[in-house]
Chain A
Amino acid sequence: MILASRRVLAIVLRHLYILRGSWPRVLEMAYWPTVNMLLWGFTSQFFAGHSDWVSRAAGVLIGAVILWDVMFRGNLGVSLSFLEEMWSRNLGNLAVSPLRPHEFVAAMLVMSLIRTVVGVLPAALLAIPLYHYSIFSLGLPLIAFWVNLMISGWVIGLGVSALVLRYGLGAESLAWVLVFAVAPVAGIYYPVAVLPSWLQPLAWALPPAYVFEGMRSLMFGHGLRLDLLLGAASLNLLYLLVTLAVFLRTWHVARVRGLLLGVGE
């Protein structure tokens, strides 16, 4: 079998050229190991001192996983809808149709809701026979948690869409990557108090931290914390407005730079 190093190098070079011109791809390479290390490091640290924690509230981890997926699907629902237009080179057609950018955003948010319900509902139902845990036992507050986490997902999805519009499909992996940057500091599987004190202000700047603290408060029998819900809703509203403005501004920049026709790697 012939192995021509010149041809192997040519293909390696082909991929290195792409990496050299795409900072999101380079960032992604170092990203996953770091995020995983932080997330599971904090989780291990917490459970080392609170081994009875899970047994005190049935389903606290399953509930966290399901609610986390609401945020993850909420993000993907927006960013994938946008990426579909980029992948099929359809953005130019849409941009010269009577569709206005804010209507385009509204359609992506509706799609996100549909994708989230279709994606998360079967998992939530499956948890009932498998683990004897129903997320629906949270009652009406579940709707408030769901809405807040989905809006957090929208914020990330709109941010990713703006980055992809500005930097091209080289940034598409951010759709899967960026949401996980929130995971270690959002207190999904452990209380925010577990985080180093210097990291806690960052956690409290993120709406999901309020939601997951609120979920645990309810599950540990401390009742619904309206202050936490209000904190999440206020921050979500603020971030949604900011990201919407960023997306619309990026759309304008795309028209200045001619990015709506020339999409690609």
Chain B
Amino acid sequence: MKSPPPPAIEVRHLSKRFGPVVAVDGVDFAVAAGSTTALLGGNGAGKTTTISMLLGLLLPSSGSVRLLGEDMVRHRYRVLPRLNFSSPYVDLPHRLTVRENLKVYGHLYGVGGLDARIRQLADELDLGDLLERPAGRLSAGQKTRVALAKALLNRPEVLLLDEPTASLDPDTADWVRGYLTTYRDQSGATILLASHNMTEVERICDQVLIMKGGRIVDEGAPSALIERYGRANMEEVFLDIARDRRSPTDTPEPTGEEAAQ
């Protein structure tokens, strides 16, 4: 019998303490290769800290992170060329044009045929008119698209996205979701995203990890979670967990809308 492929992301007993504050508390999870997984949780739940440790930006206090089979603490430079990320916590140099920024990162990632790749991304992400504009003069939505272009420059096998559709209007956000799904399907890439947009999670994610107080408190496919909690959508599931309203085995409480009826 053929053994299943190893997970693209494997996290074991991962913890991060900042002095007395435990930001991430013994987290375990695995993300299957070629899947899209959402990391959900309220503000301060530990999502960004977890993603930072996956990237090697932050060293864990204990536990291990393996990406594409490599230990991210000991051998991160073996795998960094094969992944990429975007986050609202970072930005691109403001005075460089979009094209100059993409060129710099293309060289850092060793992208072959760089000019053609930039043209391709500009076409796909509708950046043609922005290429010669300084990155600092873009609107929030335009910056998000440029950050996505930077994140896709090296055709990453693992893509880590922190709030990828934040600041985008519903139309553009919907288009980006479609683009990410197509990218995953065509390239076989693994996507892990942190998001507060539950519609996004339901639409593009195969699996959801829900964090609270630095721990993963529930996980599963969006449809399975919705069914388990007896709710209509992921937003209601999220609120149940965030507000400690009940465990998945309890009888569902009415939502505000249901109670009003």
Contact = CB atoms under 8 A, between A and B. Distances in A.
A262 B56 contact: no
B57 A88 contact: no
Interface residues of A, number: 24
Nearest to B136: A88
A97 B105 contact: yes
Interface in B45-82: 48-49, 52, 55-59, 77, 80-81
B100 to A, nearest CB: 12
A92 interface: yes
Interface string B86-130: 010111111100000000010011100000000000000000000
A173 B81 CA distance: 35
B89 A90 contact: no
Contacts of A261: 48, 52, 57-58, 87, 89-90
Contact of A258 (B52, B84, B150): B52
B90 A90 contact: yes
A84 interface: yes
Interface residues of B, number: 29
A258 B55 CA distance: 12
B102 to A, nearest CB: 12
Given A93-B150, A258-B57, 14 more contacts: A84-B93, A88-B136, A89-B89, A89-B91, A92-B87, A92-B90, A96-B83, A96-B85, A98-B77, A98-B109, A98-B110, A99-B108, A255-B58, A258-B49
Interface of B: 18, 48-49, 52, 55-59, 77, 80-81, 83-85, 87, 89-95, 105, 108-110, 136, 150
25 contacts: A87-B94, A88-B93, A88-B94, A88-B95, A90-B92, A90-B93, A93-B91, A93-B92, A93-B150, A96-B56, A96-B57, A96-B84, A96-B85, A97-B80, A97-B105, A98-B81, A100-B77, A255-B57, A256-B59, A258-B49, A258-B58, A260-B57, A260-B58, A261-B58, A262-B89
